[in-house]
Chains A and B, each alone.
Chain A
Amino acid sequence: VAADESYPAELKYHREHDWARIEDGEAVLGITWYAQDALGELVHYEPPDEGQQLALGASYGEVESVKAVSEVIAPLSGEVLEVNKKVVDAPETVNDDPYAEGWLVRIRLEDPAQVEQLLDADAYRAFLAGQ
């Protein structure tokens, strides 16, 4: 069952349609409702390796639907602490629950100041409205 459109206020957003949940020098990352809706049902998630270094603005993984492949862009820099194995095994989890069960990676932030460059939910919605 696909989730209803939402952009939780407690998350930060990147224009490449990623979200970040900041927790104590770490961040959990995923793709937004808009991104999963544009792709359709996900059938494959190619995750980064644990320990891999993500760079703000660079691709760190891939998500694929039957028709399309999309790179996942890192909204923040940092080291991968954990990959969501549930999404590796059942990629459609992202469609069902993009902001909770469907997270993609957890990272240790390299530069917490980068968080200030991200959009809040209202700014991301305004960005989507202008697309």
Chain B
Amino acid sequence: VKPCGLGARDTLRLEVCYPLHGNDITPATDAISAGLGWACALDKDFTGVGELRRIKQEGPARRLVAFVLEEKAIPRQGMRIVEGGEVTSGTQSPMLGVGIGLGYVEAAYASPDSEITIDVRGRARGARVVKKPIYKREESA
């Protein structure tokens, strides 16, 4: 057993794209845009169900996506996504050796392989939207 801190846990959860409350999901975001519709029984009644049904039917304006930097840089929470949107979590992936993150982008940029640009303290750095999870350990035979 070795000590493991929040930094280590944060890289692990980001590589597998588990959203963190306070970063990726907040009182200002909704479950459909965050990709958590699978956890919502929209056929049942609960607080906010009407709004979730509406967003699901109309399609969310922004979606929470996973992305991988194509240039050397580390995305961080709060950085602007130039095409519209914001980084909600970011780090350097120890397994991949590149910057990775989660963020909200306009629906037009939400599909895998969309090219997006992160504003890294004034420098534009290219990134590519990828399918979640960003990293999955190969099953051993």
Give residues in A with beta carbon < 8 Å to B: 43-44, 46, 62, 64, 66-67, 69, 88
Contact = CB atoms under 8 A, between A and B. Distances in A.
15 contacts: A43-B92, A44-B72, A44-B92, A44-B99, A46-B73, A46-B123, A62-B121, A64-B74, A64-B92, A66-B7, A66-B91, A66-B94, A67-B7, A69-B76, A88-B72
Contact of B92 (A46, A62, A66): A66
Contacts, number: 21
A69 B94 CA distance: 16
Nearest to B5: A67
A73 to B, nearest CB: 16
A64 B121 CA distance: 13
Contacts of B94: 66
A66 B11 contact: yes
B54 to A, nearest CB: 39
Contacts of A62: 121
Contact of A43 (B74, B121, B123): B74
Contacts of B91: 66
Nearest to A44: B74
Interface in B87-111: 91-92, 94, 99
A67 B73 CA distance: 13
Interface string B11-31: 100000000000000000000
A64 B73 CA distance: 9
